[in-house]
A = this chain, B = another copy of it.
């Protein structure tokens, strides 16, 4: 990654403090913007006409799954209590081969899954992260208890994750396979990449940002410290950029979207503090962007129809997905 020095010069070396969190919390707060009872935040930006226009982006019929498999080969290592999905059979074909299903008149197979909702490609629901004692729209933090999320559960978004998708392929724009851990993607860089790609990011868009990190780890055959370790990603300041652009949601091909470490002693993932509870902006993590990015680079089209409806798990603070881009 020969351009690193130049790139780092773009970064934000300033230490992020509680005052910065409070400043952004004040400046970027969307509480009440869509009513006192709103539970979906920036997904409100998406209007029916945007969906119609997004569908018109479908020209070749190419479909790309942006999901990582849900299985034991996933990136989790136990941090945050997250493990990789556990898949167990309840009935199987070999039962049938042994004649054990014939009395029932049908040879079939059934299975179970046991998993953290955050184990692979997923949306963070707005109930996933809190700012002090509140979640998005001012709901009290105690609305998320052992009973699940009374407010801002993922089920509230069930028909919302459809619209125009835009990919900003930062790694490719910078001529590298992957951005290095700790590399901050700044506002200027996002603008630059959009310019180079000839695409504009705007209101109601589902923005995907590619760092190349996931592909690198998949290629290496080992996740290393992917789960919660240092990573390239969105700089703290991009909260402001995303707020200005009025995107509907943002997703990255890393574990946590934002750059790590984020130069914020005492605060883990300061960007999370702002984006989810203050702005009500849904973020997607562990997106697999390789195939889509290759296609975009090939045809020069970086926008597409995007659908990523989360499984409707009542009261969940997260939503497992198999996101699809359609060109």
Contact = CB atoms under 8 A, between A and B. Distances in A.
Interface of A: 47-52, 55-56, 58-65, 67-73, 78, 80-83, 85-100, 104-118, 120-121, 127-133, 135, 140-149, 155, 158-160, 162, 264, 266-269, 272-273, 305, 307, 309-318, 320-324, 326
A326 B318 CA distance: 23
15 contacts: A48-B62, A51-B63, A52-B59, A80-B91, A80-B110, A87-B315, A89-B146, A94-B141, A106-B272, A109-B129, A110-B116, A111-B318, A113-B117, A114-B114, A309-B322
B83 A83 contact: yes
Contact of A94 (B59, B92, B113, B117): B92
Contacts of A52: 58-61
Contacts of A96: 130, 133, 141
B320 A307 contact: no
A325 B93 CA distance: 33
B311 A70 contact: yes
Contacts of A73: 314
A146 B146 contact: yes
A80 B83 CA distance: 17
Contacts of A81: 90-91, 110
Nearest to A318: B111
A87 B321 contact: no
- In the complex, the 4 A-B pairs of residues with the closest C-beta atoms, listed nearest first: A48-B61, A93-B144, A105-B268, A55-B58
Contact of A100 (B131, B145, B313): B145
Q: Which of A49, A64, A89, A100 has the most chain B CB atoms inside 10 A of its CB?
A: A89
A143 B92 CA distance: 9
Contact of A145 (B62, B82, B95, B269): B95
B312 A324 contact: no
Contacts of A148: 87, 89, 111
B49 A61 contact: yes
A284 to B, nearest CB: 14
A55 B163 CA distance: 12
